[in-house]
Amino acid sequence: MNPEAQRCVRSLIPAHAPRNPSGRAFAPSNIALCKYWGKRNEALKLPLTGSLSVSLGKLGSQVSIHLADQDSFQLNGEEVPPSHKARKRLFAYLDLFRQNAECFQVEAENTIPMGAGLASSASAFAAIAQAVDALYGWELSSEQLSILARMGSGSASRSIYEGFAEWVAGAREDGMDSYAVSIAPVWPEFRIGLLILSQAEKAVGSTEGMRRTRDSSSLFQSWPAQVERDLPAIRNAVLERDFSRLGQHAEQNALSMHATMASAWPPLIYAQPETLAVLHRVHTLRAEGLELYVTMDAGPNVKLLYLAQDREAVRSAFPEVQEVE
């Protein structure tokens, strides 16, 4: 049990038994346009900097939690064994909420690959937090749910919302001022194109990757200053629907994060040859006049950023693209 997280959770939730036999919720995955990479408190998953993301519509996690005689976990219709790290992580999280030794039957459906840099843990823990809230009948606010989701995965704080969300880093040691807020639920012309180059789970997860980068990268000291420049620029670009400014800052922010990770030791290089080929292709197309940008999380997969007016040109260049409105 994580005592710091336990104290934080207990300060938020009412002390009563579950009021409903089950709880159900969906949460979208999200793609960070201004990245989260580095924690100031690992126990509470408090970020070193703020971040900003956009959700992926119907791509995410559907979670149902039922009271049961013993704990169980099904993922995409398959029973997950007790020894699996995903099950251990799930029930370590649910231990934060048990009040009368309840047991839970958890059923989850993920529409995105796990561990491949597409934020499957973000949507999963955001959905779990909301399903638990429905089970117990707490009726928590979005900000409170964001804090609870953060305890499972930092990026999950942003998946409480549809559209664009900003995770405010906060300054308090107890983390009660570190949660996400919605800044714009819709931008009708904005498109994200997913290029899933690999569905394999990455060899080094984000938590270990952040720790290694913080401890060994000579470039990491410059990362907060990069975010300090990019975050307000991207926020204002969203609010003003200035796609050019958003794309430029989002792409530079992503590539700066990957450069920082690559300078760690041992180096963290998530890109594959196919990833680099996509980046070169995008840069060529942009030089030819197509306003197209990229972002990447900790994984080999690429997300294209473009406007609806250019969708046919993007599809022509990348026929395998999966578009999200």
CB within 8 Å of 235: residues ≥ 6 apart = 52, 166, 183
> What global pTM score does this model have?
0.94
Domain 3-184 has CATH 3.10.450.40: no
| pLDDT attached to residue 115 | 53
CB contact at 8 A, 97 and 17: no
CA distances from residue 293 to 199, 252, 268, 299, 305 in whole angstroms, order as listed = 22, 10, 23, 17, 5
DSSP string covering 46-66: EESS-EEEEEEEEEEEEEEEE
To the question of domain 190-324 being in CATH 3.30.70.890, the answer is yes
Q: β-pairing, 103-110 with 180-184? A: unpaired
Q: What is the pLDDT of residue 16?
A: 87
- Separation CA 15–CA 12 (nearest Å): 10
Amino acid at 34: C
Residue pLDDT tens, the chain, 325 long: 688 999 999 999 988 889 999 999 999 999 999 999 999 999 999 999 999 999 999 999 999 999 999 999 999 999 999 999 999 999 999 999 998 889 999 999 998 765 545 558 999 999 999 999 999 999 999 999 999 999 999 999 999 999 999 999 999 999 999 999 999 989 999 999 999 998 888 889 888 999 999 999 999 999 999 999 999 999 999 999 999 999 999 999 999 999 999 999 999 999 999 999 999 999 999 999 999 999 999 989 999 999 999 999 999 999 999 999 8
| pLDDT on residue 198 | 86
Delimit the domains of the chain by residue range: 3-184, 190-324
Backbone angles phi, psi at 151, to 5 degrees: -65, -25
Check: CB of residue 304 under 8 Å from CB of residue 321: yes
Q: What's residue 119's pLDDT? A: 58
Question: Which three-class secondary structure state does DSSP give residue 302?
Answer: strand
Q: Is 22 within 8 Å of 12 (Cβ atoms)?
A: no
Per the CB < 8 A criterion, the answer to whether 87 and 51 are in contact is no
Which residue is listed with tokens 């714009």?
Answer: 184
